[in-house]
Structure 1
Amino acid sequence: MTSQDAGLPCELFRFEGAGNVVALRVDSLAPQDGRVIEASGTIEIGCGDPSAGNGVRGALPTLVSDDDLDAWRGVLDALDLGQDVAWREDQKAIEVHVRWEHDDMLVVTVRDRMGLLTDVTTAVPVSDEWFDEAYARLERVYELFERR
């Protein structure tokens, strides 16, 4: 299966608003024994205005496993219930921590403990439509992994 045939690239998640973005793009699949168990991706981070000296832009390569997809579903479910949550915490991977700030704002922290040893935190607005889109993104990636 080629990346183009598989509908790649696509996003597993996207937090965006007020000039800030944190997104994970799935770029390529790694089939094993006829089944995809891992994908290569990139976490895009954009906060503030780097040209004005008060922001950051960057991309972090990462791998996404089939277990990560199930864990991401748990993150979405917890957020939908109003809970703060972390994805891939204390694993050998880039972590994403999300907490509620008021009823319509999420604070997202990307924590790279293995590579840059850096945390980047930004706030983004969230709505009911965001949840619909987030679950739809997850379903598209599940389809790439050929499982539900």
Structure 2
Amino acid sequence: MTSQDAGLPSELFRFEGDGNVVVLRIDSLDRRPDGTASQARGTIEIDCGDVAAGRGVRGVQPTFVGDVDLDAWREALDALDLGQDVAWRESLRAPEVHVRWEDDDALIVTVRDRMGLLTDVTTAVPVSDEWFEEAYDRLDRVYELFEGR
């Protein structure tokens, strides 16, 4: 690990609550000669419901994240913050993340795998103003990793 990768692993997003977790964890970066990242490798990790009781799901979906994905995630966060539903990486060769408002304090998050197992996992999570602050902080930390700081 180089000093530029000292912030790894890092999370791009985390939806969590009521025993449900959906997180995109960045594990490694592919660097250009100037030290900036061309893309990141990571996983979308899902742990929802009670797997032992047969009423849940747990899984890990490998993925890549490019700088264009970071910009798209910022736009998605901005739209969510305005009360709009969003689809991140829709119709791309990557797992999609759809987020819609259930009410004023809950989000419905769906991870859609159109390329691998052709499955969707949907869960509800609470959301607050603090969640948005943390979400923007996570995004800023990943931007810094991409910039090689």
TM-score (ref. length: structure 2): 0.95
Q: How does 1:71-82 map to 2 (within 5 A)?
A: 71-82=72-83
Whole-angstrom CA distance in 2 between matches of 1:75 and 1:3: 30
Residue 5 (structure 1) shift: 4.0
Please say if 1:66 is aligned against 2:67.
Answer: yes
**Structure 2 vs 1, CA of residues 139 and 146 (structure 1 numbering), >3 Å: closer, same or farther?**
same
Give % identity.
76
Does structure 2 conserve the Cα–Cα contact (< 8 Å) formed by 1:3 and 1:28?
A: no
CA distance in 1, matches of 2:3, 2:27: 7
Residue 3 (structure 1) shift: 7.4
Task: Say if 1:116 and 1:62 are closer, same or farther in 2 by CA, change over 3 A.
Answer: same
Count residues in correspondence: 147
* Alpha-carbon offset, residue 46 of structure 1: 1.0
2:147 is paired with a residue whose SS is coil
1:102 is matched with 103
Offset of 1:33 from its aligned partner? Answer: 3.1
| 5+ long unaligned stretches in structure 1 | none
Aligned to 1:33: 33
Matches within 5 A, 1:1-148: 2=2, 5-34=5-34, 35-146=36-147
8 Å contact from structure 1 (residues 22, 46) kept in 2: yes
Instruction: Flag structure 2 segments of 5+ consecutive residues without an equivalent.
Output: none
Q: Which moved more, 1:30-39 or 1:89-98?
A: 30-39
> Could you give the per-residue CA deviations for residues 23-45 of structure 1, whole angstroms, max 9, x where no partner exists?
00000000123221100001010
Conserved? CA contact 2:70–2:143, under 8 Å: yes
Aligned-residue CA RMSD (Å)? 1.4
Question: Normalized against structure 1, the TM-score is what?
Answer: 0.95
Deviations 1:31-87 (A, max 9, x none): 123221100001010110000010000111000000000000001000000000000
